[in-house]
């Protein structure tokens, strides 16, 4: 499964008179493309970005603020407004311009993290990408609060060793970005815990490693921006909440589940399902073969019965039809009435004939007897039909006439 990770450019901090420039989007997007063991990075216009199964956008650490609060107990439709009310005094900008996102483990009535980002800026970035056909499935923070402290050094320009150095710091209190200037990074040292936790993880991008080691006084691990983006993409956070939630969530959720199903972790399940499917196909074919054999055996038995009962029949095309025809011929030759003969129909009608009623008129066609019941009342007609029905006869009313036939004979007169 391939993943495209797009690093959103940091939001510029401008004067109020230039506030409209905040909504500008970059001409080219810095990205990392991951497909299995292959990893590549580069910059490209939105329309030229690589196509991937999943697209993740990373918000720079400096564009997020973190707040640990008690999550309000509010309905889903009013939760965003409730968060704005709780955090109003803690925000540096208008709450109407703030976008809120709850942590993956947030529960109403319990303490949890809330990430806040400038909503117009983030919305503009997502719309610019989606207008070019790049739909961002998840938006994740570059850095998030964590139990084990982590400090990462990077420069404003990743390839320039003279660019300004900054420190990305995350611990259980939140995540912040702070400058590390040439004057020893006094602000950074003042904001960091003192003494520094012994279990802190220290990393730096290649061009910042030497300066970071000099500032810290000990070595750091080198972590490229591509690796940092990959770490961010693995976050459980998703800032696409409330008004930024993707549409067609059900379809996308199914797609995400399908992508997860195709990952190596699910390979044993896929093999098991494939084996089960093969076994089922083999079983169905075996059952179908057995059924075909049973049908063929019954057909042979019917042919044998026909030839035994009627030896004169030499060519057997349809054993049941031929059996009925030959049996009917024997009945006719013996002079015995059949179900469709007038005698049989009259005998059936006589068994249910209303007492005291005389025949007004009748009409016979092979298998059908029509009686004139113009002088019968409703109860007599109903009783006539209900009496004959258990014997396999069908009585149909046509105005003042009653049509009698065998129920199995569906033809109407």
Note whether residue 166 is domain-resident: yes
Q: How many domains does the chain have?
A: 4
The answer, yes or no, to whether residue 229 has pLDDT greater than 60, is: yes
Q: Which of 189, 206, 121 is nearest to 155 (CA)?
A: 206
132 and 23 inside one domain = yes
Note whether residue 411 is domain-resident: no
| Phi/psi at 191 (5° precision) | -85, -20
If residue 270 lies in a helix (H) or strand (E), which one and from where to where?
A: helix 267-309
Render pLDDT for 259-272 as a digit per residue (tens, 0 to 9): 678 778 888 999 99
Would you report the helix, strand and coil content of the chain in percent, each value rounded to 5?
A: 40, 25, 35
280 and 249 inside one domain = no
Q: How many Å apart are CA 125 and CA 89, to the nearest integer?
A: 27
Render pLDDT for 148-183 as a digit per residue (tens, 0 to 9): 999 999 988 877 777 888 999 999 999 999 888 754
Note whether residue 230 is domain-resident: no
Q: CA 373, 347, 406 angle in degrees (round to 5)? A: 80
138 and 164 inside one domain = no
49 and 63 inside one domain = yes
32 neighbors 5 (Cβ within 8 angstroms): yes
Q: For the residues 24-37, what does the mean pLDDT come to? A: 88
What is the pLDDT at residue 239?
93
Place of tokens 């068994």: 351
User: Can the peptide bond before residue 195 be classed as cis, meaning omega within 30 degrees of 0?
Assistant: yes
Instruction: Give the list of residues 6+ apart from residue 272 with CB closer than 8 angstroms, or none.
Output: none
119: containing domain:
1-142+235-262
Q: Which of 343, 312, 314, 352 is nearest to 329 (CA)?
A: 312
152 and 176 inside one domain = yes
> Which of the residue ranges 34-38, 291-295, 394-398, 406-410 would you say has the lowest mean pLDDT?
406-410
Instruction: Give the list of residues 6+ apart from residue 223 with CB closer than 8 angstroms, or none.
Output: 152, 203, 204, 205
The answer, yes or no, to whether residue 409 has pLDDT greater than 70, is: no
Domain boundary among 262, 278, 312: 262
Share of the chain above pLDDT 90, in %: 38
What is the pLDDT at residue 185?
62
- CATH number at 401 reads 3.30.1360
Sequential DSSP letters for 35-75? ETTEEEEEEE-GGGSPP-SEEEEEE-GGG-EEEEEEPP---
Higher pLDDT, residue 380 or 313: 380
Render pLDDT for 267-301 as a digit per residue (tens, 0 to 9): 899 999 999 999 999 999 999 999 999 998 988 88
The answer, yes or no, to whether residue 113 has pLDDT greater than 90, is: yes
The answer, yes or no, to whether residue 20 has pLDDT greater than 50, is: no
Give the predicted TM-score (pTM) of the model: 0.59
Q: How many Å apart are CA 128 and CA 119, to the nearest integer?
A: 14
**Alpha-carbon distances, residue 199 vs 111, 203, 220, 409 (angstroms):** 25, 13, 13, 91
The answer, yes or no, to whether residue 18 has pLDDT greater than 50, is: no
123 and 256 inside one domain = yes
Mean pLDDT over the full length of the chain: 85
Q: How many Å apart are CA 353 and CA 363, to the nearest integer?
A: 16
Render pLDDT for 41-66 as a digit per residue (tens, 0 to 9): 999 999 999 998 889 999 999 899 99
Q: How many Å apart are CA 151 and CA 177, to the nearest integer?
A: 10
177 and 298 inside one domain = no
């Amino acid at each position: 499964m391939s993943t495209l990770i797009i690093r959103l450019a940091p939001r510029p901090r401008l004067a109020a008179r230039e506030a409209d420039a905040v909504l500008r989007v970059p001409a080219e997007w810095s990205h990392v493309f991951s497909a299995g063991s292959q990893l590549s990075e580069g910059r490209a216009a939105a329309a030229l970005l690589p196509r991937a199964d999943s697209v993740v956008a990373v918000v720079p650490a400096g564009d997020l603020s973190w707040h640990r609060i008690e999550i309000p107990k509010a309905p889903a439709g009013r939760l965003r407004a409730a968060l704005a009310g709780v955090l109003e005094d803690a925000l540096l900008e208008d709450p109407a311009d703030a976008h809120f996102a709850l942590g993956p483990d947030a529960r109403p009535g319990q303490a949890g993290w809330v990430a806040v980002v400038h909503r117009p800026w983030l919305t503009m970035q997502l719309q610019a990408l989606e207008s070019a056909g790049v739909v961002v499935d998840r938006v994740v923070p570059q850095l998030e609060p964590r139990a084990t402290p982590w400090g990462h050094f990077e420069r404003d320009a990743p390839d320039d060793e003279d660019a300004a150095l900054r420190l990305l710091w995350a611990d259980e209190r939140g995540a912040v970005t702070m400058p590390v200037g040439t004057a020893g990074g006094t602000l950074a040292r003042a904001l960091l815990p003192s003494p520094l936790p012994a279990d802190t993880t220290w990393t730096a991008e290649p061009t910042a490693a030497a300066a970071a080691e000099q500032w810290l006084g000990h070595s750091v691990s080198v972590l490229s921006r591509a690796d940092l983006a990959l770490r961010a993409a693995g976050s459980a956070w998703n800032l696409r909440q409330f008004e930024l939630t993707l549409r067609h969530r059900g379809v996308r959720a199914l797609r995400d589940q399908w992508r997860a199903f195709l990952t190596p972790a699910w390979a044993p399940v896929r093999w098991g399902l494939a084996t089960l499917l093969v076994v089922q196909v083999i079983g169905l074919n075996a059952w179908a073969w057995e059924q075909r054999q049973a049908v063929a055996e019954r057909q042979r038995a019917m042919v044998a019965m026909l030839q035994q009962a009627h030896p004169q029949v030499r060519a057997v095309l349809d054993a049941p039809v031929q059996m009925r025809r030959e049996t009917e011929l024997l009945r006719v030759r013996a002079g015995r009435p059949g179900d469709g003969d007038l005698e049989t129909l009259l005998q059936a009608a006589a068994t249910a004939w209303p007492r005291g009623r005389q025949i007004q008129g009748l009409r016979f066609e092979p298998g059908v007897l029509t009686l004139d019941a113009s002088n019968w009342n409703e109860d007599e007609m109903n009783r006539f039909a209900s009496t004959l029905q258990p014997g396999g006869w069908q009585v149909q009313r046509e105005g003042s006439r009653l049509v009698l036939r065998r129920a199995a004979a569906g033809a109407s007169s």
